[in-house]
Amino acid sequence: MNIGFIGGGNMATALISGFILSKTVKPEEIFVYDVAEEVLKILSDKFGITPSSSVPELEDKADILIFAVKPNVMPIVLKQINGFKNKLYISIAAGITLDTLTRALGSDKKIVRVMPNTPALVGCGMSVVCVKENIGLIGSDEIEIIDKLFKSVGDTVWLDEKYMNAAIALHSSSPAYIYMLIDAMADSGVKYGIPKQLSLKLAAKAVEGSAKMVLSGDKHPQELKDNVCSPGGTTIAAVCELEKTGFRASVQSAIDACIKKADSM
């Protein structure tokens, strides 16, 4: 099973690393095309993948083709694709809909849209997958392959495409919000005398542990929050300040802005 990547940026690197480390795909089964030769050299030296000199050459070699380029580059790339019925085409470009991909590649092609996130770099990614349900070209074999590939870098969720932009705001863009939260918490630690690296560790481990408790599914986040807040204690004082300064509203406004931008792409 040969996999071809068009684009060798951060997300492609995360996926390549995950595929190889999990032994889902062998290095010699991965081919990459990128306009920057230095990127290809770095990937080749680090992972042992095979560079390709053009998009058509890559398409010929690959059973699965992954579009890992910026949305504004996708129209240029799609014009270079021949389109084969026996190949699986996966786009991880934000804002590029299944309809757009189908018009470019043809309605008889196996097309999938996946939106991963950067925690895939450490094997903790979340990938949202969608296909055109009414076409029926994506069968159980393809579903198994897609799940196997993207679960090698975290977890997968299959979702109707109409929710994709909302999902992008919740899982793909949201690591940036979390990094801002961690950095702000760490800066406060520094303010009160704790070294920055230690402050970062304390804040990051709090986020990691809290996320695991939510994912365990035993209790709703509201209940978990209430359990930390002792009457008249330090935590409820902090929570009240967050509510007073519009913490929830700010988060929701940020997500609204993210979705609005995704809708306009």
**Residues of each annotated binding site for NADP(+):** 6-11, 68-71
Q: Copy the structure tokens of residue 94.
A: 């934000």
Residue reference for tokens 């902090």: 238
For β-strands 125-130 and 110-115, DSSP reports them as antiparallel
CB 52 within 8 A of CB 32: yes
Q: Copy the structure tokens of residue 186.
A: 């760490």
- Amino acid sitting at position 116: P
DSSP string computed for 144-195 = HHHHHHHHTTEEEEE--GGGHHHHIIIIISHHHHHHHHHHHHHHHHHHTT--
Phi/psi zone of residue 55: left (φ > 0), alpha (ψ -120 to 50 degrees), beta? Answer: alpha
- From the list 76, 86, 100, the residue with the least C-alpha distance to 6 is 76
Q: Which residues are annotated as a binding site?
A: 6-11, 68-71
221 DSSP assignment: H
